[in-house]
Amino acid sequence: MYINGEWVEALSGKRFDVTNPATGEVIGDVPDGGADDARAAIAAADEAFGAWASTTAFERADLLYQAWQLMKERTGELAALMTKEQGKPLRASTNEVGYGADFLRFFAEEATRVTGEWLPSKTANQRFLVLHQPVGVVAAITPWNYPMSMLTRKMGPALAAGCPIVFKAAEATPMCAQAIIQLFHDAGFPPGVVNLVTALDPKPIGEVFTTDPRVRKLTFTGSTAVGKMLAGQAASNMKRVSVELGGHAPFIVFPDADPVRAAKGAAALKYLNSGQACISPNRLYVHTSGADAFIETMIERVSRVKAGPGTEDGVTVGPLVNEAAVDKVERQVIDALDKGAQAPVGGTRLIEAPFDKGHFFAPTLLTGVADGMTIYREETFGPVAPVIVYDDVDEVIAMANDTEYGLAAYVYSDNMSTALKAFEQLRFGIIGINDVNPTAAQAPFGGMKDSGLGREGSREGIREYLETKLGGFAL
Ligand code: ADP
């Protein structure tokens, strides 16, 4: 663990193993921290806060540029580690390192753009001045699905704003977190500004993060159930909260779209990260007029998606994170098949060699999906594309919005009015219009409803780490 500028063991001296999800092999072990370790990290961050907040934005930007540079230089080794620990194909790991690095550069730039305001007064001898200052110590909890970029997406804005940060990394991917923290050590960030606690049991640490009075903000990325619980706890202690949670993205193919192009987009998008992404499409609504062409293209494309260890050439889908994840996907697929869906491609676990030691589910296409099936409402987090054929264009937006989630949605249409109306009417934070990659460091990422609170990335991202202070000056 990294506390106050040093790599340390857990106070208990305990460690836990980290395994490769493709092979079941133990690839290393890390300290198993607890509540006292979390408190030590918070104490270090609290101690560092004053001096860090007093550095100039330009000094903070220089350090972030330095970390960005190192991340780019180490792309190869970071990607190799990610594939070994998280399982995604090497090319996807390389892309994630690039995406993660983008947040460091963007927020290095953004650090120097935090400005205030001079407001008019009704009274001649009064002045109003608005100042933005760092909120203070940030506690951050990150997931395993994007084990590097989810750290930099929080570090970039927190550090740029002048906040120290304490991480609790996901138990499945602590070594990726260590490698990211090492960049910040090597870049020369002062002791206490960046800290990392690793732990097998996240609960005691979550408890400290949400109750310790020195923590002023909680930022969490993970499941809706845990996020709601932690956000509630943190809010009752008056901490600022941003949470980026689950999703259930609709993907709508309108009658005025090219169904083949849409299917190619859906097949490219759905199997990224083995479907373990909160913006992965979970309901593919295809209009009857294009359904045959769409499904035919999907069958052809999904049949070509190759599962296997991410280190192997040509593999486009890696393992799932663990056996529980495979069980959940299998349960959803069996439920859908029982209720009348078909699986023209895949539909089962992969259990024969070379898949027997890892956690694999076959890239799957489900057709004939309908409301009433578990997969229609529950987030899948697996390589399964559920297709729903619809008839009534006036109803499809309402169907798409009929979910407790509100993170991402996708629309295929070649008609500007159709696309613009859908963009306006969909209740989701991120809408891809004929676009399967609507994310970037400079673009706001976040959801509505049960998908979360706040935005990450973009100009908005840094505001989550700033307090507003008003000065009234009577002359
Ligand atoms: P997933 O189901 O995708 O693993 P989780 O929400 O369980 O999503 O995990 C996301 C992050 O939240 C991980 O770092 C995990 O350790 C952490 N986490 C899970 N449960 C708790 C908890 N009770 N308190 C604090 N952190 C938690």
Kindly report, residue by residue over 240-261, the tens digit of the pLDDT.
Answer: 999 999 999 999 999 999 999 9
Give the pLDDT confidence of 335-379 residue by residue, as tens digits.
999 999 999 999 999 999 989 999 999 999 999 999 999 999 999
Q: What is the mean pLDDT of residues 84-98?
A: 98
Q: What is the mean pLDDT of residues 76-80?
A: 98
Pocket test for ligand 1, best of 148, 167, 221, 226 (most atoms within 8 A of CB): 226
What's the topology of domain 2-245+451-474?
Answer: Aldehyde Dehydrogenase; Chain A, domain 1 (3.40.605)
Given a contact cutoff of 8 angstroms between Cβ atoms, the answer to whether 219 and 154 are in contact is yes
Give the pLDDT confidence of 224-243 residue by residue, as tens digits.
999 999 999 999 999 999 99
Residue 1: band (very low, low, confident or very high) from pLDDT cuts 50, 70, 90: very high
Q: Which residues make Cβ contacts (< 8 Å) with residue 400, sequence separation at least 6?
A: 250, 252, 283, 285, 409, 426
Tell the residue nearest (CA) to atom 9 of ligand 1. Answer: 222
What's the topology of domain 249-440?
Answer: Aldehyde Dehydrogenase; Chain A, domain 2 (3.40.309)
Please report, rounded to a whole number, the percentage of residues in the chain having pLDDT higher than 90. Answer: 100
Mean pLDDT, rounded, of the chain: 98
Q: What residues flank ligand 1, with Cβ below 6 Å?
A: 141-143, 168, 170-171, 202-203, 206, 222-223, 226, 230
Given a contact cutoff of 8 angstroms between Cβ atoms, the answer to whether 437 and 417 are in contact is no
Alpha helices in 212-279 (DSSP H): 224-236, 259-270
Two tokens at 425? Answer: 């009417």
**Distance, CA 470 to ligand 1 centroid (Å)?**
37
Question: pLDDT value at position 84?
Answer: 98
- Side chain identity at 338, as an amino acid letter? D
Domain residue spans of the chain: 2-245+451-474, 249-440
Give the pLDDT confidence of 291-301 residue by residue, as tens digits.
999 999 999 99
Two tokens at 2? Answer: 């990294």
Cis peptide, bond prior to residue 354, ω within 30 of zero: yes
The CB-based long-range contact list for 69-77 (8 Å cut-off, 24+ gap) reads 70/183, 70/186, 70/187, 71/97, 71/100, 71/101, 71/104, 71/152, 71/180, 71/183, 72/98, 72/101, 74/179, 74/183, 75/101, 77/179
244 belongs to the catalytic site: yes
Give the pLDDT confidence of 308-325 residue by residue, as tens digits.
999 999 999 999 999 999
* Equal fold, 2-245+451-474 vs 249-440: no
Q: Which residues make Cβ contacts (< 8 Å) with residue 313, sequence separation at least 6?
A: none
Question: pLDDT value at position 382?
Answer: 98
